[in-house]
Amino acid sequence: MLLAGFTMETRGQEELLAVIAKIEGHPDNAAPAIYGGIQLGCKRESGDDVSFVTSRVPTPPNLSIVLFTPKKLMKASTEVTRNLVPQTTALSNAIHNISRSSLLVLALCSNKLELLKDCSDRLHENYRADQLYPHYRPCAKAAMEHGAEYAFLSGAGPTVCAFVSGRRGDILTQPEGERRVEQVAQAMLDAARAAGVEGRAIITQPSDLGVHLSGVHSSLPNVSYVNI
């Protein structure tokens, strides 16, 4: 590959996944970034050999996603956010999360998004929200009350993510009356603001593409090349 006049080594997707996941210790971020979509991943260990397994979860065409992201930097270091989560938990909490993780995958694979309403977390969200994110609970609650199927903390935060179902798939072609995503987005903004956190809402859908080049800035002012 040639970039800005310099020859660069290129890597295949599997090699990229192995390199990045080894650095992070898991494939949770690398897999969707490389392959796109919603990915299931796990770490495979055999003696000194470490590898990572990933697979795409089928995504319903009518799934929309609303992301609330605070304007002010709130994210603590990874070490801090991990230390907020207890190293041990009650068996009932472990069983709860295992069953809800299975339910989440079932809901997406079968396009029964109403099942998402029974999903919830007992392992990390509350511990992190209590210490770092005053907007999380009111934001998630408002999203659910205004039509979201499920709302949760994205990774270790501070972004709050809401899954919203729509009738006709692409949010850009839905009639105004079916755009519950806009109501959910506004409700999340209002709830977070009431909790003292200003932010912005992003309405999107899962992409089947991983990271890719979508546009190039020209040397001419106000001119860009964009792939459509």
Confidence at 220, pLDDT banded by 50, 70, 90: low
Alpha carbons 202 and 67: distance in angstroms, whole number: 5
CATH number of 60-205: 3.30.70.890
pLDDT of residue 201: 96
The beta strands (E) that lie in the chain are given as 2-3, 6-7, 38-46, 49-57, 63-70, 150-153, 160-165, 199-204, 215-217, 224-226
Secondary structure class of 61 (helix, strand, coil)? coil
Query: 82 Cβ partners below 8 Å, 6+ apart?
Result: 156
pLDDT of residue 148: 96
| Backbone φ, ψ for residue 70 (5° rounding) | -60, 145
pLDDT of residue 114: 94
Which tokens hold the place of 198? 């200003």
pLDDT of residue 48: 83
Alpha carbons 20 and 5: distance in angstroms, whole number: 26
Q: What is the pLDDT of residues 102-138, one digit of tens each?
A: 999 999 999 999 999 999 999 999 999 989 999 999 9
Q: Would you say 81 and 128 are in contact if contact means Cβ atoms under 8 Å apart?
A: yes
Q: What percent of the chain has pLDDT over 70?
A: 82
For 163-208, what is the HEC assignment? Answer: EEECCCCCCCCCCHHHCHHHHHHHHHHHHHHHCCCCEEEEEECCCC
Q: Is the pLDDT of residue 158 over 80?
A: yes
DSSP 110: H
Domain with CATH 3.30.70.890 in the chain: 60-205
Which of 9-18, 93-102, 134-143, 209-218 shows the lowest per-residue confidence on average (mean pLDDT)?
209-218
CA 114 from centre of chain: 19
Q: Would you say 107 and 113 are in contact if contact means Cβ atoms under 8 Å apart?
A: yes
Mean pLDDT (the chain, rounded): 85
pLDDT of residue 18: 84
Alpha carbons 51 and 118: distance in angstroms, whole number: 33
Q: Is the pLDDT of residue 96 over 80?
A: yes
pLDDT of residue 175: 67
CA 119 from centre of chain: 15
* pLDDT, mean of residues 62-90: 87
pLDDT of residue 72: 86
Q: Would you say 117 and 143 are in contact if contact means Cβ atoms under 8 Å apart?
A: no
Q: List 66's β-bridge partners, or say none.
A: 162, 203
pLDDT of residue 79: 77
Q: Is the pLDDT of residue 153 over 90?
A: yes
Cα dihedral: 185, 190, 194, 199 (round 10): 60
pLDDT of residue 92: 98
Confidence at 228, pLDDT banded by 50, 70, 90: very low
